[in-house]
Structure 1
Amino acid sequence: MAYTARLRTAIGGVRATLATLGIDVQDPRFRTHGEHAPDPDAPLVLVACSGGRDSMALAATARIVCASLGVRCGAVIIDHAMQDGSADVARDAADRCRALGIDPVVVDRIDVPADRRGAEAAARDARYAAIARIAGRLAAACVLLAHTRDDQAETVLIGLLRSGGTDALAGMPAVFARDGVRYARPLLERTTRDDTTGICRDLDVAWWDDPTNGDAADPDAADDDAWRALPLRSRIRQRLIPYLRDFTGGDIAAHLADASRSLRADKAYLDEMADAALERARVDAAGDVLRLSAKRLAAEHPAIRRRVIAHALGAAGIEASARQIEAVERLAADWHGQGAVSFSSGYSAFRQKHVIRVCQDGAHANRRRSRSD
């Protein structure tokens, strides 16, 4: 069949992404145009598939690319069991993937624990944990995620509304690692949600629309209770981006996504500098969760200093807001005897002479202080 321009763009994105991960033509005999049956030990590329238009378009595109390279293409479908009929949605998605010729196709039903951050964050973490488990069991070379350029624009706006700063503007990375698994987003730069819809139609692939995305809500109804109940991302998608597009008269999603791409290089450099500074500032924990030299932290540029603190807390499994990170920063750079900075899960940071100590509340007074303190 003749490929449409949008399908060719998506195929090019998947090929380029796999190439950056070291996944290319597996044998000289596969260099001829067309599809090739992969060897049993060929690398396995997994597509994380929800059954929605984006992930179904990616699954179909990835199968085409993998077949041309002699690479195995599989799919992993996570049923969060958070909506009525979720098992049926997962089963239908699996059937569609198998009809595309994808193998293996794994469906995993998970329990999403209660989380003070909200259901969306809890579901995301549970989903990544399940995907990592399955990818490890199948020895997958990588997992592809179906985030598009529109998703990137929405992520940038969410970051600006919630926190701001370079990291928010940088959006989602195209390639990253989590829990020992390599993830990639081949549709992130050049493929839109309209494109994935078109790709599904081009290939006669059905999809499911998640009701929480708000497609059923009336965008013109100011008092639409259904719209107001949508998650933040869906509200941004349904209201804010259309407003900004009308206000600017241009493709605001493309503008935000393009800006985030250039800022990701800045973020990568700052992260590299911060990791080096963290090694300079870290001192023997001596039984605490973490200890940092206040003097070495104070000597760093504020942009690096805050990243050092954020990276150190994150590596210790401690969640911290921008305000909490700034409070820890003041323990080093603006010290005037202030009290401890409290975090969730019973952790706190305080300064003792020239050391910033992070430990669990209640453990400070009970721990015998060493001479180095």
Structure 2
Amino acid sequence: MAYSSRLRKAVGAVRAALADIGLERQSPRFARHGEHEPLGDAPLVLVACSGGRDSMALAAVARIVCASLGLHCGAVIVDHQLQDGSDDVAANAAGNCRNLGLDPVLIRHANVRDAGKGVEAAAREARYRELCAASRDAHAACVLLAHTMDDQAETVLLGLLRGYGLDMVAGMPAVTIREQVLFVRPLLDLTRDETTGICREDLHLDYWDDPTNGDDADGPLPRTYPLRSRIRHDLLPAIERFAGGDVIRHLAGNARLIQSDKEYLDRQADRIAARSVTIIADAGSEGGAAVTIDAKALGNEPRAMRLRVVAHALSQAAIEVSAIQIEAIDQLVVNWHGQSAVNLPRGYSANRKKHVIRVCQDRAHANR
């Protein structure tokens, strides 16, 4: 079969992404043309597949690439159980993946609990929880995610609307680790139009469009639709009409540069944290997680580094805070004059005594 330019681009992107994490050809015999069964102990690559156009394109391309490298290629489908007929959607996606030759093909049923951040956030957390569990159970080398250049641009705009700081506009990294599972996004340089073309014209793949994406909507989407869908169909087209040019490519390219800056700043923050922060994941009878900060060690660092160190420490301890609360904790570091504690969600607070700031739940402060 002759490959189109977009299919060659996708194959090259997946091959390069696997090479970046050390998954390359397992034996010289896989360089020969034709189908070759991978060795039994070859690494397994799992594709996270929703059944949509992006993930179906990725599943097909990953199967092609893994077959040429001697790697096992499987898929994991997460049923969020939020829509009527979601089990049928999951079963169809699994069937399509099996027809492509992926093995194993796993279906995981997520339990989505909204803890106050909204259904979108709860579904995302549940999805990653199931992907991590599936990867560990299958002893997979990595999980491939089908985020495209369009998704990257939407993520940047989401960050601008919802948060503050450099990290919010850095978009999604090409490689990330979550719960000790390696996640890889090989398609960040491909557009949604290209994945659609791979499905419709190159490989003739069936795919499912999530109705909450609003792809069939006529006119602006109601506010009941997820914010990401409204950004995709309303905000991005409006920006393109205003600015002209390829806004999606511009936003995604800018995110790639900012991601490099973020990675450097994170490394510097980790070095500073190693000598100024202690994290206790479980404080036992005293309460949940706790963080102690040596204000003397942290106080001489630039403000940008101090804020990043505090934010990372609290995030690692699963203590949720806002940008304003991080700045208030920073004031305990550099401008302490006996002020009261900084109150945080879920009964946490940050108190300073002498040169030590302790962030923990209130009962833990009482038992210090």
How far 1:228 moved relative to its partner? 2.1
Matched, 1:282 2:283: no
- Looking at structure 1, the residues matched to 228 and 356 of structure 2 have their Cα atoms a distance apart, in angstroms, of 41
Match of 2:355 in 1: 354
Secondary structure at the residue paired with 1:125?
Answer: helix
Between stretches 29-38 and 194-203, larger displacement belongs to: 29-38
The one-letter amino acid of 2:46's match is L
The one-letter amino acid of 1:65's match is V
- Looking at structure 1, the residues matched to 266 and 150 of structure 2 have their Cα atoms a distance apart, in angstroms, of 26
1:95-110 superposed matches below 5 A: 95-110=95-110
Match of 1:132 in 2: 132
Secondary structure at the residue paired with 2:143?
Answer: strand
The one-letter amino acid of 1:152's match is Q
1:102-251 superposed matches below 5 A: 102-188=102-188, 190-201=189-200, 202-219=202-219, 221=220, 227-251=222-246
Match of 2:251 in 1: 256
Match of 2:72 in 1: 72
How far 1:48 moved relative to its partner? 0.2
Secondary structure at the residue paired with 2:234?
Answer: helix
Secondary structure at the residue paired with 2:349?
Answer: strand
Matched, 1:303 2:317: no
- Looking at structure 2, the residues matched to 11 and 269 of structure 1 have their Cα atoms a distance apart, in angstroms, of 30
- Looking at structure 1, the residues matched to 236 and 117 of structure 2 have their Cα atoms a distance apart, in angstroms, of 25
- Looking at structure 2, the residues matched to 322 and 218 of structure 1 have their Cα atoms a distance apart, in angstroms, of 38
Between stretches 347-356 and 357-366, larger displacement belongs to: 357-366
1:278-333 Cα offsets, whole Å, 9 max, x none, are 11212697978121111222211011000110111111111111111111111112
Runs of 5+ unmatched residues, structure 1: 368-373
- Looking at structure 2, the residues matched to 19 and 306 of structure 1 have their Cα atoms a distance apart, in angstroms, of 35
CA 205–347 in structure 1, closer or farther in 2 if over 3 Å, else same: same
Secondary structure at the residue paired with 2:222?
Answer: helix
1:97-126 Cα offsets, whole Å, 9 max, x none, are 011111110011121122111111111111
Question: Any conservation in 1 of the 2:279–2:290 contact (CA below 8 Å)?
Answer: no
- Looking at structure 1, the residues matched to 278 and 218 of structure 2 have their Cα atoms a distance apart, in angstroms, of 56
Question: Any conservation in 2 of the 1:293–1:354 contact (CA below 8 Å)?
Answer: yes
Match of 1:345 in 2: 346
Matched, 1:272 2:271: no
Question: Any conservation in 1 of the 2:291–2:317 contact (CA below 8 Å)?
Answer: yes
Between stretches 333-342 and 146-155, larger displacement belongs to: 333-342
- Looking at structure 1, the residues matched to 43 and 364 of structure 2 have their Cα atoms a distance apart, in angstroms, of 48
Question: Any conservation in 1 of the 2:340–2:351 contact (CA below 8 Å)?
Answer: yes
- Looking at structure 1, the residues matched to 35 and 198 of structure 2 have their Cα atoms a distance apart, in angstroms, of 19
Question: Any conservation in 2 of the 1:214–1:227 contact (CA below 8 Å)?
Answer: no
Counting aligned pairs with the same residue, the percent is 60
Aligned pairs, number: 361
Secondary structure at the residue paired with 1:326?
Answer: helix
Between stretches 105-114 and 138-147, larger displacement belongs to: 105-114
Runs of 5+ unmatched residues, structure 2: none
User: Where has structure 1 moved over 6 Å in runs of 4 or more?
Assistant: 284-288
1:206-246 Cα offsets, whole Å, 9 max, x none, are 11000111112223x5xxxx532111111100111101111
Question: Any conservation in 1 of the 2:279–2:317 contact (CA below 8 Å)?
Answer: no
- Looking at structure 2, the residues matched to 37 and 264 of structure 1 have their Cα atoms a distance apart, in angstroms, of 38
How far 1:335 moved relative to its partner? 2.0
